[in-house]
């Protein structure tokens, strides 16, 4: 192994000009540089002294130890780069994977592999991370472009222009501001305001305490947990929306849907019109507005039962929410993403990053496909029950009107007609407008079974719907 020490002067920086292999950059307590090469060939290392400080190039992998206060500039690292404990890092191009731990201030331009950052005050990516990015315990993160997925945990603030894959945010202390997410988004325990201009896939969110503005969701919305007092929550989705609010929620609720709106929430001053529902939970305080092209299911705690379309619809809404199981979906998606990216903690040299990224994407897609199926089944089931109940109510109203008219005629004590019926002369006896129609529909269904157009099971469902 070849070693070389380089003395340093104050106000200098280290520049890594062109590093052909992997680089391990660590901090030590000596006021000089220590460079180690895996072999004894000194010609693999080039050192130049510049006004700014030493500039190094290496044609093989190497280990470098520097004082913690020394700024480091990296022009090009063709392999993987691991940095531990620096105060200031500026990397222009890293061709491999980049792992940072305990680096105070980080400025990155291009990372062609994956990025993992832990325990950093400030992270700024002015260019592109072509792989996945995993951030934990970062005070402030500002990313221009991540082609893969972005996973964050324990951050204070996140700003990103474009995320090509999935976005997962957990335990965010401040604001989340992202322009575009190319995949799905999973948000949990965000204390600051959430601003997402566009999410191409599904959005699963829980405990958004500082409000949310999501202008476009290409898939479905699943929202659970509390709403922050005095904050606004606006969502617009192309798919369905499923919302479960805890007991004691105070909010003004507005839902617009092209499909069905099913609710078991005890909304005060509730108003319904075609495709629109408004009302107030508790004393208000927060504002929740949802607009979707599909269906909306709104549910809450036990005290919300019995509202909306009656006990039967409330029961169906709650059963639909339980079938979807928002908690299980959130845990499942999070676990899939965590498991698929846990290999970020393995030594950089030993990881097949391309294969890992593919497995992560496939795992998330499987979880979201299951979510889509569960939501569609629950919404369809609740909508069928609602339509069935509405038809029963309409038929019952017509029957009551018919009975009322019949009793009115009987009360008038009209004489018997020639054919023995009670009523005015020449007038047929009033019959229920539904009886003949229902009988005709039953006969039609039975004929369809006989002709093989539908199965007996489908006929049973249709006959049940007519009851």
Is residue 353 over pLDDT 50?
no
Least confident window among 119-133, 189-203, 390-404: 390-404
pLDDT at 426: 42
Do 273 and 208 share a structural domain? yes
pLDDT at 409: 72
- Would residue 190 count as lying in a domain? yes
Domain span at residue 289 reads 180-411
Is residue 306 over pLDDT 50?
no
- Of residues 299 and 56, more confidently modeled: 56
User: Which 8-state DSSP code applies to residue 431?
Assistant: -
pLDDT at 237: 96
Is residue 349 over pLDDT 60?
no
Q: How many angstroms separate the first and last alpha carbons of the chain? A: 87
Is residue 210 over pLDDT 60?
yes
pLDDT at 262: 85
- Which CA distances in Å does 318 have to 57, 337, 388, 465? 65, 28, 17, 21
The segment with the largest mean pLDDT, out of 18-32, 257-271, 329-343, is: 18-32
Is residue 40 over pLDDT 70?
yes
Is residue 352 over pLDDT 60?
no
Please provide the average confidence, as pLDDT, over all residues in the chain. Answer: 81
Is residue 285 over pLDDT 80?
yes
Surface-to-core class of residue 305, CB atoms within 10 Å of its CB (0-12 exposed, 13-18 middle, 19+ buried): middle
pTM reported for the whole predicted model: 0.72
- Would residue 111 count as lying in a domain? no
% of residues, the chain, pLDDT over 70: 71
Is residue 142 over pLDDT 90?
yes
Do 454 and 327 share a structural domain? no
Mean pLDDT of 89-107: 97
pLDDT at 402: 77
Mean pLDDT of 156-183: 96
pLDDT at 38: 87
Is residue 427 over pLDDT 60?
no
- Would residue 360 count as lying in a domain? yes
Do 406 and 442 share a structural domain? no
Name the domain count of the chain: 2
Mean pLDDT of 62-73: 95
Entry field: residues in the chain: 467
Is residue 144 over pLDDT 70?
yes
- Would residue 237 count as lying in a domain? yes
pLDDT at 310: 42
**Beta strand pairing call for 23-28 and 81-84:** parallel
Is residue 176 over pLDDT 60?
yes
Do 334 and 185 share a structural domain? yes
Do 467 and 349 share a structural domain? no
- Of residues 26 and 310, more confidently modeled: 26
Do 383 and 446 share a structural domain? no
CA dist., res. 418 & res. 8, Å (int): 123
Under the banding of pLDDT at 50, 70 and 90, the label for residue 359 is low
- Would residue 116 count as lying in a domain? no
Do 445 and 370 share a structural domain? no
- Would residue 364 count as lying in a domain? yes
Q: For the chain, how are helix, strand and coil distributed in percent, rounded to 5?
A: 30, 40, 30
- Would residue 263 count as lying in a domain? yes
pLDDT at 43: 86
Is residue 214 over pLDDT 60?
yes
Do 463 and 365 share a structural domain? no
- Of residues 462 and 113, more confidently modeled: 113
Do 266 and 407 share a structural domain? yes
- Of residues 24 and 332, more confidently modeled: 24
pLDDT at 455: 72
Q: Is 27 helix (H, G, I), strand (E, B) or coil?
A: strand
SS3 assignment for 28-74 = ECCCEEEEEECCCCHHHEEEEECCCCEEEEECCCEEEEEECCCCEEE
pLDDT at 33: 93
pLDDT at 266: 84
Do 459 and 370 share a structural domain? no
Who contacts 369 (Cβ-Cβ below 8 Å, separation ≥6)?
A: none
pLDDT at 21: 94
- Would residue 121 count as lying in a domain? no
Do 463 and 354 share a structural domain? no
Is residue 417 over pLDDT 80?
no
Under the banding of pLDDT at 50, 70 and 90, the label for residue 461 is low
pLDDT at 457: 62
Is residue 366 over pLDDT 50?
yes
pLDDT at 365: 62
Q: What is the signed CA dihedral for 232, 234, 240, 241, rounded to 10 degrees?
A: 0
CA dist., res. 209 & res. 318, Å (int): 24
Do 456 and 395 share a structural domain? no
């Amino acid at each position: 192994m070849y070693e070389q020490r380089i003395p340093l002067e104050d106000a200098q920086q280290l520049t890594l000009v062109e590093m052909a292999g992997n680089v391990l950059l660590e901090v030590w307590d000596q006021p000089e540089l220590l460079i180690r090469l895996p072999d004894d060939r000194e010609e693999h290392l080039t050192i130049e002294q510049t006004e700014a400080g030493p500039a190094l190039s290496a044609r093989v992998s190497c280990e470098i130890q520097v004082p913690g206060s020394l700024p480091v500039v990296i022009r090009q690292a063709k392999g993987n780069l691991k940095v531990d404990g620096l105060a200031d890092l500026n990397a222009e191009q890293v061709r491999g994977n980049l792992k940072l731990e305990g680096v105070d201030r980080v400025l990155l331009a291009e990372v062609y592999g994956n990025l993992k950052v832990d325990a950093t005050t400030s992270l700024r990516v002015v260019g592109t991370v072509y792989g996945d990015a995993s951030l934990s315990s970062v005070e402030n993160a500002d990313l221009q472009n991540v082609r893969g997925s972005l996973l964050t945990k324990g951050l204070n603030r996140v700003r990103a222009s474009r995320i090509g894959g999935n976005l997962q945010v957990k335990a965010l202390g401040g604001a989340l501001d992202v322009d575009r997410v190319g995949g799905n988004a999973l948000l949990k325990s965000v204390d600051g305001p959430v601003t997402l201009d566009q999410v191409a896939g599904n959005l699963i969110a829980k405990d958004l305490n500082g409000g949310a503005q999501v202008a476009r969701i290409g898939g479905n919305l699943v929202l659970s947990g509390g709403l922050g007092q005095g904050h606004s929550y606006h969502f617009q989705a192309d798919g369905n929306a499923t919302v479960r609010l805890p007991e004691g929620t105070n909010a003004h609720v507005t839902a617009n849907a092209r499909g069905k709106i099913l609710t078991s929430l005890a909304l005060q001053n509730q108003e319904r019109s075609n495709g629109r529902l408004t009302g107030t939970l508790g004393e208000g305080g927060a504002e929740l507005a949802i607009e979707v092209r599909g269906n909306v299911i709104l549910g809450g705690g036990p005290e919300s039962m019995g509202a909306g379309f009656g006990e039967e619809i409330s029961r169906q809404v709650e059963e639909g929410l339980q079938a979807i199981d928002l908690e299980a979906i959130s845990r499942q998606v999070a676990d899939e993403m965590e498991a698929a990216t846990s290999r970020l903690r393995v030594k950089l040299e030993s990881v097949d990053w391309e294969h890992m990224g593919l497995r992560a994407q496939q795992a998330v897609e499987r979880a979201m496909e299951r979510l889509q199926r569960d939501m569609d089944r629950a919404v369809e089931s609740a909508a069928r029950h609602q339509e069935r109940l509405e038809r029963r109510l309409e038929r019952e109203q017509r029957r009551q009107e018919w009975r009322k008219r019949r009793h009115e005629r009987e009360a008038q004590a009209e004489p018997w007609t020639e054919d023995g019926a009670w009523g005015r002369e020449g007038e047929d006896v009033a019959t229920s407008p539904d009886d003949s129609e229902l009988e005709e529909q039953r006969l039609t269904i039975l004929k369809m079974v006989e002709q093989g157009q539908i199965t007996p099971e489908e006929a049973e469902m249709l006959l049940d719907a007519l009851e």
